[in-house]
Amino acid sequence: MNKYFDIQSSTGRFLEILIQIVILLSLISLTMESFPELKGRPIFRTLEIVFVSIFTFELLMRVLFGPKKLKYLVSGYGIIDILAILPFYLSLGVIDLRVVRILRFLRILRVAKLTKYSKALSRLISSFRSIRGELLVFLFATILVLFVASAGIYFFEHKAQPEIFKSIPHSMWWAVATLTTVGYGDVYPVTAGGKIFTTVILFLGLGVVAIPSGLLAAALSKKDES
């Protein structure tokens, strides 16, 4: 059975391509189902059953006959495979329509299955893993900056715009939009102090975007050299 999981063999390569096609078809089906005139068509339910059956069979084969067997379930790719089929099985016993909608939304996680079969995506994930320590430090620093930005703009703008900057948590939307340099313009400072503070945060935001990009670029370069 190992030949079915060896991508170097012709059989393994064929099954790999087949699963990739099924994944893409399931995503196309999910996209088509979002059209108002096509929503609720029985064909999409039938296709979903077919796709989930194939994904379930693949998962069972990996658990029963794959190199890792049961350990595969707790691996990164195993969790991705479980998440790809879990919404369907959970929706079978769910009555609340709001919960069903959430579970249907989770089907987009199926796109993560492609990472198993794409060398480029696998390389990208490997690069993220190699810099996870640096990314955690950066994430912690970003959270601190986010809090400082939210608190700062609150103290500058609360009196001038009490309905918009009601509290520090309410100010976090502005902080996120500003730090990421998106600047939607739905929430903005009107006081002189607030505008000066926003300018400082905008410059910090450039670093928030640039630092992880630089870390990832360096990690990918090391992968190329090795």
Give the CA dihedral 213, 215, 217, 222, nearest 10 degrees: -170
Extents of the domains making up the chain? 2-117, 132-225
The phi and psi torsions of 92 (rounded to 5 degrees) equal -65, -30
Q: How far is CA 185 from CA 106, 158, 177, in A?
A: 30, 17, 9
DSSP state of 122: H
Distance of alpha carbon 78 from alpha carbon 43, whole angstroms: 29
Distance of alpha carbon 19 from alpha carbon 54, whole angstroms: 8
Residue 205: which pLDDT band, with cuts at 50, 70 and 90?
confident
Residue 150: which pLDDT band, with cuts at 50, 70 and 90?
very high
How high is the pLDDT of residue 142? Answer: 86
3-class secondary structure, 39: coil
In terms of Cα–Cα distance, which of 61, 36, 113 is closest to 82?
113
How high is the pLDDT of residue 151? Answer: 95
First to last CA, the chain: 32
Residue 118: which pLDDT band, with cuts at 50, 70 and 90?
low
Q: Is the pLDDT of residue 115 over 90?
A: no
Q: What percentage of the chain has pLDDT greater than the value 70?
A: 82
| In this structure, CATH architecture of domain 132-225 | Orthogonal Bundle (1.10)
Q: pTM score, two decimals?
A: 0.60
In terms of Cα–Cα distance, which of 86, 64, 82, 65 is closest to 73?
82
For residue range 165-202, what is the model confidence (pLDDT) as tens digits?
Answer: 999 999 999 999 998 888 788 889 999 999 999 999 98
**Domain 2-117 in CATH 1.20.1740.10:** no
- When the pLDDT of each residue in the chain is averaged and rounded to a whole number, the result is 81
Phi/psi region, residue 188 (left: phi>0; alpha: psi -120 to 50; beta: rest), is beta
Residue 17 tokens read as: 């391509």
How high is the pLDDT of residue 180? Answer: 84
- How confident is the model over 128-152, as a mean pLDDT? 86
Q: Is the pLDDT of residue 23 over 80?
A: yes
